[in-house]
Amino acid sequence: MSNIAITGAGGRMGKALIEAIAGTDGMQLTVAVEHSESSLIGVDAGEASGLGRNNVAVVSSLEELADSFDVLIDFSVPVATVENAEFCRRHGKKMVIGTTGLSTDQVQIIQQASDYTAICMASNFSTGVNLCFKLAALAASVLGADADVEISEAHHRNKIDAPSGTALSLGESVAGALGRNLDEVAVYDRQDLTSVRGSEAIGFSVVRAGDIVGDHTVLFASEGERVEITHKASSRMAFALGAIRASKWIDKQPVGLFDMQDVLGLK
């Protein structure tokens, strides 16, 4: 039996994770964390998620709870994720990270923590999205430099980082297959451009509206034809179930930094 801790227990992703854990054999929720100002502190996590009492009270900190879980699933904010990675490093706890918008320095801290414990970090834990990463790289390698590449994504109005981590990962998949450096060829804003589209450019477009869970499309456009690879998430359960799958896998690894491609055997 794997004991699981989650952050953001009162959020939409947190509730999806609690539901996914409850429906998975061999896993149980033992720690549920929210920020210190949350009205849910002390409330039963199962009841807060609408699933019924599970006798796990929501807490504001992992301190003194290291013996209560095996794997921490963290879909929160960069500052909190880095702090939690340091906690897991000190106590030898495994970790699944779905937080996006991490800076280079923050990623480096997580990489250093993975020298002491096993961490799975991904921009998206959906099985379908990770398949799209593979398909995008394959399409890029087949279509080559003849196709213009544009990546579009849409999310709910409350998502802060843009483009999404998933869109950037799709860009990395395409750029890697084409032998390009995404930092050098990515185009995020065309408002002030005064020249035609560069042949090596990978363009990004972003929508933030309503309650869109997450839509992503990679467009390859060449003379006379277009190829589109699209993934649409209709529920956060797709991400939650992927994170649970990653948790089972990472719990068996000794140390190291992995991603969902490792979990699914797509590398």
Indicate which residue of 94, 155, 216, 231 is catalytic: 155
Q: What are phi and psi of 104, to 5 degrees?
A: -60, -40
Residue 231 catalytic? Answer: no
Q: How many CB atoms lie within 10 A of CB 160?
A: 9
Indicate which residue of 35, 134, 156, 159 is catalytic: 159
Residue 159 catalytic? Answer: yes
In whole angstroms, give the CA distance from residue 156 to residue 217.
16
Contact status, residue 17 vs residue 73, Cβ threshold 8 Å: yes
Active site residues: 155, 159
